[in-house]
Structure 1
Amino acid sequence: MSEPTVTVVIGAYNAMPYLTRCLESVVEQSPGAYTIECLAVDDGSTDGTDKELDRFAAGHPGLVRVVHQPNSGGPSGPRNVALGLARGRYVFFLDADDHLGPHALRRMIDMAERNHSDVVLGKYVGVDCNVPTSMFEADQDVVDLATSRVWNALAPHKLFRRSFLDERGLRFDEDIRIGEDRLFVTKAYLQASTISVLASEDCYYKVKRDDQGNITSGFSDLMKRFEVGRRLMAAIAVHSEPGPVRDAALLRTFRGGLLDSFSWRFPLLDESDRREAMDMVKEQLDAFYTPELDARMTAPHRLFAHCARHGLHRELLEIIEFLKEERSRRRPAPAVIVDGGRAYAAYPYFRDGTAGIPDSCYDITGELRQDDRLDAVEWRRIRRGGVLRLRGYGRIENVPTTEPATELVLRLRDDGREVRLPTRPAPLPDAAPGHALDDALAGFTAEIDLTRALDGAPLPKGVWDVYLNVRTQGLSTRRRFGARKADGAAAATGGRSGGLQVKPYYTLGYGNLSLDVTAASRGRREKWLPKRLRRQMRRRLGGLGRRLGGRSLGRS
């Protein structure tokens, strides 16, 4: 029997009734020239999962194979059994609760064949649950692990080249039941020669079960999560060299593993376990934590790291309690202190000499969020054409707006060239709902004269994306502008300024404002002349038409 192109691996334990849709999505694939086998391992199910697997195997001989085994206690065992029996050139790990898009396997294999990929991520879709999406903005033939957001997708639901897994000895650790997938995928990422992303096809549908039996993000045993973090650090040290790729892996592991484990569950541990966990994290921080990583952390992560490294047990518990109450809205967000052009969140022990925690742990300057709104896009006629007028407001969240200064930035999509345009203060009649009264100062208007926007010269033709810079108290933020709009705010109709035509529009998906600038149509030029000159032109053209024996030329 010839080897199939891909083996779909399903580890199944008490997966009814979701299993039926899962299996249907495999047998209904449109593989084209490729061939599929489905290898399902029943891990001692007691709810009829075993019978449903056998029914599909009987109905699809040669396509569905089933292995029955006693319960192993976790997903690693069934996956490893299937890997040992898989015959496909590729393997894809599919959870029994989830299902595939109809063209998923063919499109992912196409991507892998074209790029000689060891790993292919197909686009995730959440069904009543959230899934990672940041890495699926566009297809990527070759991913740069130093900068890619694939680190946010460490579940094993991907296409892997089987020879790559075998050569590297990649298998799931069976002695852990929490985070085994994160460990497997991290090792695969760091050893793969090529990782690709397929974003143009909905490939994997992650389903939230009614009983939430497939949701493990809660981590019932927190100490095991700390242990997984330690193993991840060891794997990163073995499979990467110091540099940007290692830093990306460490950042994901510190932020999304070790330091995040200091959650509301941490105070529920026995004190001996708490201190053991702090020692475990300190060991990893001392070995791998650098100033460069610290600068990329959030303020709570920096506080957790400092407390763990310096044995501040009581202070750590108080900070965790503060964050828990803040997130549950039983406590307001910490005050923001602006000092020397930096912003600090006044979490517990800020500038408290007894704890000795440095200000840098509270620094949120890089985390500040911009709040803005587009109120109107208006085309205003002037003698020689027109100008585009924008009205709105911009502020920095949680920072009082004093001495406001906003600035529009137009960025040419083709080459990244930027044009900065000043705005004029236009105080809001009332502060925005929920904002402090001084936020009335955040209002602005701006007029864009296309004929003079580029240092007195016409704006080059192309698509210009609109950004808004906001500055106050020595702080600054910037982001794309227009996604949040006032009720009834619509894009202005196109207009002309000199020899340029501009069409404002909102981008698909995010709804941000962009300007499409093109050459003005010659046939419409007379409409921009003064009325006296237009009448003279028509009289002359009309007379010329009669002399040539044709019809008089009227309005265009």
Structure 2
Amino acid sequence: MPISPQPANPAHGGPAGPAPAVSVIIPVHNTRPYLPRSLGSVFAQTLDQRRIEVIAVDDGSTDGSAAWLTAQALHHPNLTVITQPASGGAGRPRNVGLSLATGDYVFFLDSDDHLGPEALDRLTRMAQTHHSDVVHGRIVGVDGRAAPVDLRTTRARVTPFDSPVYWTLAAYKLFRRAFLEQHRLRFVEGRLLAEDLPFGIAALLRADTVSVLADYDCYYLHGRPDDSNASRQELDWCEYLHYIGTVLATVEAEVPPGPDRDALMVRHFHGEILMPFAAPYLSRPPDGRRAMAAAARPLVERYLTDRVQAALPPRLRLRAHCLRAALDDALTAVVRADTEATPPEPPYAADGRLYARYPGFRDPHHALPDACYDLTDRVAPRQRLTGRQWAGGVLHLRGTATLPGLHGTTAEVLLHGPAGRYRIPARHDGERWRAAVDPATAADGAPLPAGLWGLKIALTAHGAPAPDADPADTAVHREAWLVPEPDGPGEPAAVPAGPRPRLVGRGPDGPAVAALLPAGPHHHLHLDLDPDGRRHPLGTDLRGTVTTTRTGRATLTAHLTLPGCPTDAGLRLTLRAGDRTLVARRTTVEPAAADRYTLRCSLHGVPPGTWQVALRLTAGPLRHDLPVRTADDRTPLTVTVPRPSRRLRLR
């Protein structure tokens, strides 16, 4: 979209030298109280200011914003300020800024939001590394405003169809400027709301590479105390819905019918088509409500496929059905039920399904289909694993878990493994649960077989009996993988999973080395039982020394932590040279607190040569040699026995 008259009154220092890495474009309209925070976050970037071009376009402010910006330009040579008459939205100021930008990349920052200090450095480096046309940084909502989407995984390449990036079509992200010029992408001008939809849609659908930077809080999206954000303003909703129709027509032209287009339409039913049918709808008189419904009905009829309808939650599914069927009274009742302050009632349960308790359910006067109310597939456990520890060879787990909106919850821990599926009862009290997993009895009273076992929490709860349903048929069953909590701020939830590997008894099957570890892309918690002790090393802190008296008598001493070591286990120090192994005739074992052990033996009659020291662990059928390292952990501990008449030499 071309930009007609040249904006007036530029004030700038004009950054000298080569083109900047990134141009930050900031549309401004009566946001004077927020400008120090917004502009300040740009001037505080870790990226060199000589590589940042800042273009602030004041769009007819009347609160002194333009004067403040002009004064700042005197102190910041990389800031250019443009003033122009009010245009009625952020579209024209952004277009003006884009026409003046010289950076390799462009970032659009709203003047009431701010950036994380490392945002521009991280975003531009990611774009350069992966040749990205668009980079979505992680967005954080503050001051009562929610982020449009929670980006959790950093990925070099995503598409609108395999990631949540399409759910945030707003402008605040990094774009390669040459890509924007190649496709002549510009914002719709003169609109207060949704002016960035066509721009964001075209950018995502035409980009060769879209990347996500989710491991840093790049953009802070602020709410305003006076609730004056553009998205909160009163609009002509009928005109707005007509405009959305023109936007969706471009999506229809870009994406053929099928699952991909439907996935995008689900987002638009959430974000644009059904969004006005809340407080704005109820605030109108009956004829105004009918006009809004009439404006939305063509969009519902054209884009609400069976796949889209099934993907919507009941509150939106019901709205869409009522709009399409011209059920104005039912629509008003559903919208009113969502806006009332009364707490939601438990959902109905019948025939193994759950139904939202909205007006009209199984009411013969409305004849709304049960499918509009069905939320069975949307009820998921809300749970956290808060503790995991071993005590006496038993794994103790604890956490919190609920099925939101249901009551009478009971819990079990499920073990999924190569030999089957076993249930461990859990004590559940309100939201908290505890369970004890004993490998000696976990397989329905028998020893748990060796192998990798996934750990889940299984919940059973109850809904309210549906009309004309059997009151006994209200049970709902759900399962969820247990995932370790992070051990500290910024650490991934996957590491570490729990206590160090240990020996556990399994009755007649003998002991095994047990380890808790995350597995798979989602870091689900698993219990690995290794009867050979090969996959998870024991005694990783095993250290030793050799001391020699003046008479040549040598003593070997070793220290280690060995969780779960049975009292009848054999612990003997050994010496190995080539294919020869000598086992100490007598090893003294001194246990201490916290599973610590000290072992000693005297070296008598050892043949000459260089011998590597190890600790032999024997527990039932398990026999494992653990290497001993020097006290400084630099090399394996070795003993050199000289030929007769020479003293013992240590290394």
TM-score interval for Structure 1 and Structure 2 normalised by the shorter chain: 0.7 to 0.9
How far the C-alpha of 1:225 sits from its partner, in A, is 4.0
Please give the residue correspondences for 1:5-404 in structure 2 after superposition, counting only pairs within 5 Å. 5-31=21-47, 35-61=51-77, 63-132=78-147, 134-214=149-229, 216-217=231-232, 219-325=234-340, 328-329=341-342, 332-370=343-381, 377=388, 379-381=390-392, 386-390=393-397, 396-401=403-408
How far the C-alpha of 1:93 sits from its partner, in A, is 0.7
Does residue 500 of structure 1 match 2:513?
yes
Q: Distance in 2 between matches of 1:378 and 1:504?
A: 13
CA change 1:355–1:166 in 2 (3 A) is same
Which residue matches 2:459?
A: 470
Deviation per CA, 1:10-45: give whole Å up to 9, x if none. 111122132123223333434359822212211122
- Contact 2:21 2:51 (8 Å CA) reproduced: yes
Amino acid at match of 1:248: A
| 2:274 partner SS | helix
Which residue matches 1:457?
A: 449
How far the C-alpha of 1:539 sits from its partner, in A, is 7.6
- Contact 1:191 1:239 (8 Å CA) reproduced: no
CA change 1:31–1:353 in 2 (3 A) is same
CA change 1:393–1:181 in 2 (3 A) is closer
Which residue matches 2:430?
A: 432
Q: Residue 565 of structure 2 is aligned with which of 525, 528, 531?
A: 528
Deviation per CA, 1:182-226: give whole Å up to 9, x if none. 342123212222111112333223333443433524554433442
How far the C-alpha of 1:254 sits from its partner, in A, is 0.4
Amino acid at match of 2:95: N
How far the C-alpha of 1:172 sits from its partner, in A, is 1.3
CA change 1:334–1:483 in 2 (3 A) is farther
- Contact 1:422 1:446 (8 Å CA) reproduced: no
CA change 1:397–1:87 in 2 (3 A) is closer
How far the C-alpha of 1:9 sits from its partner, in A, is 0.9
How far the C-alpha of 1:253 sits from its partner, in A, is 0.3
Which residue matches 2:412?
A: 406
How far the C-alpha of 1:235 sits from its partner, in A, is 2.2
How far the C-alpha of 1:293 sits from its partner, in A, is 1.2
From the two aligned structures, give the one with the greater helix fraction.
Answer: 1
| 1:132 partner SS | coil
CA change 1:196–1:455 in 2 (3 A) is farther
Q: Distance in 1 between matches of 2:33 and 2:313?
A: 41
How far the C-alpha of 1:351 sits from its partner, in A, is 0.7
Deviation per CA, 1:108-130: give whole Å up to 9, x if none. 12211222221111222334244
| 1:17 partner SS | helix
Q: Distance in 1 between matches of 2:98 and 2:163?
A: 28
Amino acid at match of 2:260: V
CA change 1:395–1:89 in 2 (3 A) is closer
Q: Distance in 1 between matches of 2:388 and 2:191?
A: 57
Amino acid at match of 1:408: L
Which residue matches 1:422?
A: 423
Which residue matches 1:445?
A: 435
TM-score scaled by length of structure 2: 0.69
How far the C-alpha of 1:141 sits from its partner, in A, is 0.8
Q: Distance in 2 between matches of 1:120 and 1:375?
A: 34
| 1:519 partner SS | coil
Q: Distance in 1 between matches of 2:252 and 2:528?
A: 49
Q: Distance in 2 between matches of 1:352 and 1:137?
A: 42
| 2:32 partner SS | coil
- Contact 2:450 2:528 (8 Å CA) reproduced: no
- Contact 1:451 1:457 (8 Å CA) reproduced: no
How far the C-alpha of 1:445 sits from its partner, in A, is 3.5
| 2:355 partner SS | strand
- Shifted more, 122-131 versus 369-378: the winner is 369-378
CA change 1:124–1:376 in 2 (3 A) is closer
Sequence identity, in percent? 33
Q: Residue 536 of structure 2 is aligned with which of 498, 515, 519?
A: 519
Amino acid at match of 2:478: T
CA change 1:449–1:235 in 2 (3 A) is same
Q: Distance in 1 between matches of 2:243 and 2:438?
A: 55
- Contact 2:440 2:448 (8 Å CA) reproduced: no
CA change 1:185–1:214 in 2 (3 A) is same
Q: Distance in 2 between matches of 1:27 and 1:532?
A: 65
Which residue matches 1:436?
A: none
- Contact 1:20 1:52 (8 Å CA) reproduced: no
Q: Distance in 1 between matches of 2:108 and 2:144?
A: 19
Q: Distance in 2 between matches of 1:264 and 1:144?
A: 34
| 1:14 partner SS | coil
How far the C-alpha of 1:371 sits from its partner, in A, is 5.1
TM-score scaled by length of structure 1: 0.80
- Contact 2:413 2:455 (8 Å CA) reproduced: no
- Shifted more, 239-248 versus 105-114: the winner is 239-248
| 2:317 partner SS | helix
Q: Distance in 2 between matches of 1:549 and 1:135?
A: 65
Amino acid at match of 1:496: L
How far the C-alpha of 1:6 sits from its partner, in A, is 2.1
How far the C-alpha of 1:174 sits from its partner, in A, is 1.5
Q: Distance in 1 between matches of 2:244 and 2:267?
A: 10
Q: Distance in 2 between matches of 1:65 and 1:455?
A: 73
- Contact 2:419 2:449 (8 Å CA) reproduced: no
- Contact 1:151 1:249 (8 Å CA) reproduced: yes
Q: Distance in 1 between matches of 2:569 and 2:478?
A: 49
CA change 1:532–1:36 in 2 (3 A) is closer
Q: Distance in 2 between matches of 1:126 and 1:132?
A: 4
Q: Which has the higher contact order (CA 8 A, sep 6+)?
A: 1
- Contact 1:425 1:445 (8 Å CA) reproduced: yes
* Structure exhibiting the larger radius of gyration computed from Cα positions: 2
Amino acid at match of 1:44: G
CA change 1:466–1:223 in 2 (3 A) is farther
Q: Unaligned stretches of 5+ in structure 2? A: 1-16, 462-473, 486-496, 505-510, 530-534, 540-559, 573-582, 589-599, 608-614, 618-627, 629-651
- Contact 1:120 1:197 (8 Å CA) reproduced: yes
From the two aligned structures, give the one with the greater strand fraction.
Answer: 2
How far the C-alpha of 1:160 sits from its partner, in A, is 1.2
- Contact 1:172 1:184 (8 Å CA) reproduced: yes
How far the C-alpha of 1:393 sits from its partner, in A, is 7.5
How far the C-alpha of 1:531 sits from its partner, in A, is 4.2
- Contact 2:145 2:222 (8 Å CA) reproduced: no
Q: Distance in 2 between matches of 1:112 and 1:337?
A: 49
| 1:260 partner SS | coil
How far the C-alpha of 1:349 sits from its partner, in A, is 1.0
- Shifted more, 211-220 versus 184-193: the winner is 211-220
Which residue matches 2:631?
A: none
Q: Distance in 2 between matches of 1:540 and 1:420?
A: 45
How far the C-alpha of 1:149 sits from its partner, in A, is 1.2
- Contact 2:116 2:218 (8 Å CA) reproduced: yes
How far the C-alpha of 1:299 sits from its partner, in A, is 0.7
How far the C-alpha of 1:363 sits from its partner, in A, is 0.4
Q: Distance in 2 between matches of 1:528 and 1:483?
A: 25
CA change 1:107–1:405 in 2 (3 A) is closer
Q: Distance in 1 between matches of 2:28 and 2:512?
A: 66
Which residue matches 1:4?
A: 20
Q: Distance in 2 between matches of 1:235 and 1:125?
A: 30
Q: Distance in 1 between matches of 2:317 and 2:245?
A: 18
